Each structure stands twice: as C-alpha cells, then as structure tokens.
Chains A and B, each alone.
Chain A
C-alpha cells in the first residue's frame, strides 16, 4: 500500500506546487468566504491530485502493468481511497501555512474552526467517492464526461440552490444544537462512510475491468 502511495507521490511531485498555488490563490480569490475558502482548497486539491494520478495511469498505460504485478486488484483501488484523507490533511496544513504567512496583509483567513476541515473532508470525499467508481468502471478517458457533470453539480447546482436551506430541509434539533466537536466528528464519519461505500463499489468494478 505504502509503495503505491509513494508511486503516486513520485509521479505527481511537480503537481504538489499546484496544491501550494491553490492554498495561496484561493484565499485571495474567495476572500469573501473568509475561512471557508479552506473547503474550496481541500476539494480542489484532493480532486486535482486524484484525477492527475488516474491521468498518468492512462497516459502511460500503467494500469496494465500494475495489474500484471503480483498485487491484488483490490489493493490498487484501495490506495487511491486512502490518498483522499492524506491529501485532505496535506491541503489543510498547506492552507494553514499559507494563511498564517498572509495574515499580516489578509487577516481572518486562518482556520480557527474544527468544523471547516471536516466539512472540506466530507465534500472532497463526496466528490471523489462519486467519481472514482465511474473511472474504475469506464476508464479515465471515458469517465471524463462524468467529471464535467460532477463538477457542475458541486460548483454550480448545489451552491445555487443554497445547499440545505434552499431545499427547505431543516436540521433536527439535536444536530442544530450539537457542539462543534460532535458535528465535526459526524462530518468525518460521514466522509469515511462515503469513501468506504464508494471503495467497495470501485473494487467490484475493477475486478471486472479488462485492460
């Protein structure tokens, strides 16, 4: 597992600078969101890094090579899911560093609420969790059309409809009055649940995949 993660890190090491750029640029671009810009940074970083990993596999026909090694196909799938929380944490740390350095000129961007990284993790998990089974089923190239749909859904439809309030859904009293710690925990558990379910679907898809 670790070896496969190192593979992705080595192959995409130049892309890490793009993550750094997100952490510097997004707080400026989404200044009105204040600390919540962290959520955008997390979604963008995780999604970009994951997609790039799949793109490199496709570009170099590495899928066939990796599937020819004595590795369980399930392991090849699982590694990409384990990378979601790792990339999310990396994005949080980079964002914290960037906003701490920018604080003298742009105060109020450094995240002080636990809720935000957790929300970012759930959002990144939802986006990746929706897309990865499609990639494992159809391959990276054919799945790109779905990428557009998911991207529109996350950055177009959901924000426009006003998330929960806009759909007229009221939170249960216990949740609306719950402590920040509990809500944070619930968001993280929800993110893990999304990734777990998605991973199981992807494994099923990948077992049947032909190269």
Chain B
C-alpha cells in the first residue's frame, strides 16, 4: 500500500543549522510521532513538507504526489495544526472557517459542526477570546473537516494542560480508528506518543537518530544499569548516553538481549520510555560533541 508520507534525503542548510538527509515514511492509517529537543529540526521538517521553506535536497511525497509539483493537490489532502495557530484574532471561529473552507475541495460542513460539538467549541466565539487549548481544538476541528488524508501537527500539545492534551489525543485516536487519516505529530512531550503513536522518528541537531515502530523500539531498547565490571564487559556493545555513577553506570542500549549476554549476571535491564530514549540519545550526542 502506498505510503501517505514519504521523505527521502531531506536536506536544508542554514547558516548555523543543517537538516541533514532525513528519511522516513508513514504508512496509511497510523500515527507517527516526530520527536526531538527544541531546535532539533522538527518544525523545519514540517515547513519543508508544507513547502513553506525551500529544501536544498531530497524528495517529499504525499500520497505519491510531489509536494512542490503538485502543491495544491497535496495541500488539499493535508490538515495542518501548527503550534502558533495563525488565525486572525479579530474574527469569530465561524468567520475564519468561512474564509478557509472555500479553498478545500472536500470541505464537510457536517463534520465541522460535529467536531466543534465534540470539542466543546461555540462557533460564534471570537478567536482572540479563546484560550490556547481552545485554539488548538479549533485548529484541529478545521484540519479534520475537509477529509484530510494526512494530519500534520507541529507541537499541538505544547503548553496545554493534561486535560486538553488528553482530549486532543482522544480525537486523534478516534480519527485513526475511523480509518480515514494518518497523523504526523511533532512533539517534545513524549508521554503523548507513549499513548497514541505507532511509529516514532527521532531527530537531533538535524540528524536522524532512529525511525521505527514504537513497539519494536520499546521491545529492543533497554536502559541498563550496572557496575564498572559490567561496563568493561560491555566494551563491544554500543552504549548510548552513558552516565558514569560513583559505583557504576547507566546507559541505553539498542539491543537489550545482546547487552545482557555480554555484561554477565547482575546487569539491571529496564524497559525505557520514549522520554528516556530521547534523553539518552541527546546526552550521547552532546557527549560526542565534547
């Protein structure tokens, strides 16, 4: 089945930052989490997908269409939710909807009203009077009301309280269960992805760190804790973000079984969260820089 989003060798060079040959693909009907620290290149990648900035190299395909050659068709199939929603605050939600809806070939007024109701939004309320959470809900309602096949979200849960975050994530899961849409979701709040993501891509300083199914990542990666002796035994293993403690060490390994075998008895293995994986990889990269 054709990937909904396929990115290959995506490169963008700035004076002080480079997105360096990022590649990943999102199959239809899944949620892909896109994680990384602030400044890792997440927003740059999303802007490149939306052709808001120009790439230096690489290809981006949405439903098999080139995102630049077939820009309008591609954008017609994408629902976007940006951290900074970008709506005119002078207008009511209804007025803003009237401006935007006419440009989508498959705008569905019934779906729009259903999402407003589902998310507890009053259509005549002025956008300037909405809280950040309400604005994100509104942006999500707009993004879902034109039968988008790809929902592109840049830090949608950043700065929101847990209740609203849970509500937004609940809507995303419903959308996926209905089977109409795939979701590409950038965030640095990895706990959101623990709940909903099927695939996870991590980038750091513009470079791809990992790209795999979330369950496979969580199954293979392990947090290891042990003594100096274990550390010596693990010499042949790739340790990620090693933290040397007074009586031992902790680190992340990509293959927990191999590490356990190499280290010998007594090595403590824990299942990492996505946050652990992000932190250890970032620490590892920082260590490598030193």
A interface residues, Cβ below 8 angstroms from B: 3-4, 6-7, 10-11, 14, 56, 60-65, 67-72, 208, 210-211
A144–B274 alpha-carbon span in the complex (Å)? 45
Contact A62 B86 (CB under 8 A): yes
Which B212-242 residues have C-beta < 8 A from chain A?
Answer: none
The interface residues of chain A lying within 8 Å CB-to-CB of B91 are 10-11
Contact A3 B86 (CB under 8 A): no
**0 or 1 for each of B88-126: is its CB under 8 Å from A? (1 = yes):** 111100010011101111000000000000000000000
Cβ-closest 10 pairs across A and B: A65-B86, A70-B75, A210-B53, A211-B52, A70-B76, A61-B86, A70-B72, A7-B99, A69-B103, A3-B102
Residue of B54, B87, B95 touching A62 (CB-CB under 8 A):
B87
The interface residues of chain B lying within 8 Å CB-to-CB of A60 are 86-89
Contact A72 B72 (CB under 8 A): yes
Given the known A-B contacts A65-B82, A68-B80, A70-B75, are A210 and B88 also in contact in the complex, defined by CB atoms under 8 Å?
A: no
The interface residues of chain B lying within 8 Å CB-to-CB of A72 are 72
Contact B86 A69 (CB under 8 A): no
The interface residues of chain B lying within 8 Å CB-to-CB of A211 are 47, 52-53
The interface residues of chain A lying within 8 Å CB-to-CB of B52 are 64, 67-68, 210-211
Given the known A-B contacts A64-B82, A67-B52, A68-B50, are A7 and B88 also in contact in the complex, defined by CB atoms under 8 Å?
A: yes
The answer, yes or no, to whether B23 is at the interface (CB within 8 Å) is no
Interface contact tally, CB-CB below 8 A:
69
Select from chain A the residue with minimum beta-carbon distance to B139.
A65
A14–B90 alpha-carbon span in the complex (Å)? 10
Given the known A-B contacts A69-B75, A70-B76, are A11 and B90 also in contact in the complex, defined by CB atoms under 8 Å?
A: yes
Contact A61 B84 (CB under 8 A): yes
A149–B106 alpha-carbon span in the complex (Å)? 46
The answer, yes or no, to whether B73 is at the interface (CB within 8 Å) is yes
Contact A70 B103 (CB under 8 A): yes
Contact B85 A65 (CB under 8 A): yes
Shortest beta-carbon distance, A150 to chain B, in Å?
Answer: 26
25 residue pairs bridging A and B, Cβ less than 8 Å apart: A3-B102, A3-B103, A10-B88, A11-B91, A14-B90, A60-B88, A61-B86, A62-B87, A63-B86, A64-B52, A64-B82, A65-B82, A65-B86, A67-B50, A67-B52, A68-B75, A69-B75, A69-B100, A69-B103, A71-B103, A72-B72, A208-B54, A210-B47, A210-B52, A211-B47
The interface residues of chain A lying within 8 Å CB-to-CB of B105 are 70
Tell me the interface secondary structure of chain B in the complex. Answer: loop
A19–B99 alpha-carbon span in the complex (Å)? 24
Which B41-76 residues have C-beta < 8 A from chain A?
Answer: 47, 50, 52-54, 71-73, 75-76
The interface residues of chain B lying within 8 Å CB-to-CB of A64 are 52, 82, 84, 86
Interface size class of B (residues with CB under 8 A): 20 to 34
Select from chain B the residue with minimum beta-carbon distance to A12.
B90
A38–B99 alpha-carbon span in the complex (Å)? 33
A109–B165 alpha-carbon span in the complex (Å)? 61
Select from chain A the residue with minimum beta-carbon distance to B74.
A70
Residue of B71, B75, B82, B99 touching A3 (CB-CB under 8 A):
B99
Contact B90 A10 (CB under 8 A): yes
A62–B52 alpha-carbon span in the complex (Å)? 12
Given the known A-B contacts A11-B90, A62-B86, are A70 and B102 also in contact in the complex, defined by CB atoms under 8 Å?
A: no
A64–B85 alpha-carbon span in the complex (Å)? 9
The interface residues of chain A lying within 8 Å CB-to-CB of B98 are 3, 6
The interface residues of chain B lying within 8 Å CB-to-CB of A69 are 75, 100, 103-104
Select from chain B the residue with minimum beta-carbon distance to A56.
B88
Contact A56 B87 (CB under 8 A): no
Select from chain A the residue with minimum beta-carbon distance to B76.
A70
**0 or 1 for each of B130-145: is its CB under 8 Å from A? (1 = yes):** 0000000000000000
The interface residues of chain A lying within 8 Å CB-to-CB of B88 are 7, 10-11, 56, 60, 62
A56–B100 alpha-carbon span in the complex (Å)? 16
Of B75, B78, B95, B99, which is in contact with the most chain A CB atoms at under 10 Å from its CB?
B99
Shortest beta-carbon distance, B86 to chain A, in Å?
Answer: 3
A4–B50 alpha-carbon span in the complex (Å)? 20
The interface residues of chain B lying within 8 Å CB-to-CB of A62 are 86-88
